[in-house]
A = this chain, B = another copy of it.
Amino acid sequence: MPPTNDRFLRALRGQPVDATPVWLMRQAGRYLPEYRATRAKAGSFMALATNPELACEVTLQPLARFDLDAAILFSDILTIPDAMGLGLTFAEGEGPRFARPVRTAADIARLGVPDMEGELRYVMAALRLIRRELGGRVPLIGFSGSPWTLACYMVEGGGSDNFGRIKAMALSEPALLHQLLSVVTASVIAYLSAQRAAGAQALQVFDTWGGALAPAHYREFSLPYLQRIARELERGTGDDRTPLIVFGKGNDPYLEELAQDVEALGVDWTIGLGEARRRVPKHIALQGNLDPATLYASPEAITREVARTLDEYAAANGGSREGHVFNLGHGLSPDMDPEHVRVLVDAVHAHSLR
């Protein structure tokens, strides 16, 4: 059964839509008071993320408020390394931390593809529950971090300003890093396949840190693994095909190479959407790309910028809005005003309605 509102899936397939679909990265999150209430009830971020009922609850919260065209599983990009035994925690007000980062050949040799209905069962249970609770209203997106981005956290042990450890590994022990990226890539493919089986109707890979690499290293350590996922991930055919969206921060120089074998590319706001449309083959949809900081501006400015983004896409697409999923160029921040988010979502539909 297709969802009642299938604009998002139709746009990803390049089919005509009545209005441009919109969803927002981190649409379920701390900027919503109801999210903060559920998070407080859970006790910790990981307690929230690993509880299917609570994960379902926060996934649905933004849909109750805003006219969004897709739901995205509430989870974290670091579930795979956590399931590999690295011990993920979030200290309040700080980023993620791994108790057991991956630094040596022995550390890497120990890693295996996690059991999708074992350590990662909570993710699949959440997806099944969300699909049931959505009742076909809008499609449900599953996701994973990219191999390079997951490897960054695994080697650094958390966030990093300059990725010194993993870049040193890339230069001094490249074979070791490729071994790590291989097992992570196999895990990402298994994870996305299991999410699809559990009900995800589209899949997004987040390459958050690919843009931190020099071009030669991006093409050695991030791009080939993204391409392998796009090539090897079994996802059906025709209208039953589960679209794969690859999003990368700072992926502007690589759009043509990333476009191989994917259904859509997500782009950040540092490239014009018109330029991206001109460079990427027409049968690949584009997702993006309003600067998230636009949400700090006035409602009038938000409305104007939404229209500008939609029109920049259409102008580069022969006047057609087809093949465009509206999104931010990166995620929402905790200090953003939910009423401004409403203005944005409504402006997308109002301006693009046929």
A positions within 8 Å CB-CB of B: 161-165, 167-168, 171-172, 211-217, 250, 252-253, 269-272, 275, 291-294, 296-298, 300-302, 304-305, 308, 329, 333, 335
Contacts and interface: CB of A to CB of B under 8 A. Distances in A.
Contacts of A162: 292-293, 333
Given A171-B304, A215-B270, A250-B270, 10 more contacts: A162-B293, A164-B293, A165-B296, A167-B291, A168-B297, A168-B301, A171-B294, A214-B272, A214-B291, A215-B272
B167 A293 contact: yes
A178 B324 CA distance: 33
Given A161-B333, A167-B291, A172 B297 contact: yes
A169 B304 CA distance: 14
Interface centre among A212, A250, A293, A300 (most CB of B within 10 A): A293
Nearest to A211: B270
A296 to B, nearest CB: 4
Given A292-B162, A333-B161, A214 B270 contact: yes
Contacts of A212: 270
A119 to B, nearest CB: 32
B301 A172 contact: yes
